[in-house]
């Protein structure tokens, strides 16, 4: 499982720039560049007061990442095999405002 660093600090699952969700899904089935990927698991903290109260635990540095971006060299059978990845999008309002910065086209 990749080590995940996440700069999307207004996501309900973000805890000290780590992800407390346990697993995420990265979208971008036809992506050829990083900007065409996104974290489909993003949930705006302001829109998720109930989930917010349920995710007060620590973030995990290493989590399972399912990924649709099959043209990424780290993608094997829609799972991410990178050692570490970084998700960006500090001012995200929706999933499409986030990006997997670690995408590398084959
Ligand atoms: S590094 Fe590649 S395979 Fe891993 S989550 Fe990002 S886009 Fe998907």
pLDDT digits (tens, 9 = 90+) for 49-61: 655 555 555 678 8
Query: Span 7-22, mean pLDDT?
Result: 94
Counting residues of the chain whose pLDDT is more than 90, the rounded percentage is 81
The answer to whether residue 25 is domain-embedded is: yes
Q: Which residues line ligand 1 (CB under 6 A)?
A: 26, 37, 65, 67, 69, 72, 74-75, 80, 82, 85, 100, 102-103
* pLDDT surpasses 70 at 69: yes
Query: How many domains, the chain?
Result: 1
* pLDDT surpasses 70 at 100: yes
Query: Span 68-97, mean pLDDT?
Result: 96
The answer to whether residue 67 is domain-embedded is: yes
Domain of residue 81 covers 3-100
Ligand 1 atom with least separation from CA of 101: 6
E-strand spans in the chain?
3-6, 14-15, 18-19, 23-27, 38-39, 64-67, 75-76, 79-80, 84-88, 99-100
Q: How far is the CA of 55 from the centre of ligand 1 (A)?
A: 24
The answer to whether residue 31 is domain-embedded is: yes
Residue reference for tokens 């900007």: 35
- Please give the pLDDT value at position 90: 87
């Amino acid at each position: 499982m990749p080590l995940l660093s996440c700069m999307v600090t207004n996501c309900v699952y973000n805890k000290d720039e780590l992800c407390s969700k346990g697993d995420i899904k990265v979208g971008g089935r036809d992506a050829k560049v990083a900007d065409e990927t996104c974290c489909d698991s993003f949930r705006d903290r302001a829109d998720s007061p109930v989930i917010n109260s349920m995710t007060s635990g620590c973030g995990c540095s290493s989590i399972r990442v399912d990924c649709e971006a099959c043209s990424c060299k780290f993608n094997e059978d829609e799972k991410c095999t990178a050692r570490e990845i970084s998700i960006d999008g500090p001012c995200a309002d929706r999933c499409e405002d986030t990006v997997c910065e670690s995408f590398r086209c084959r």
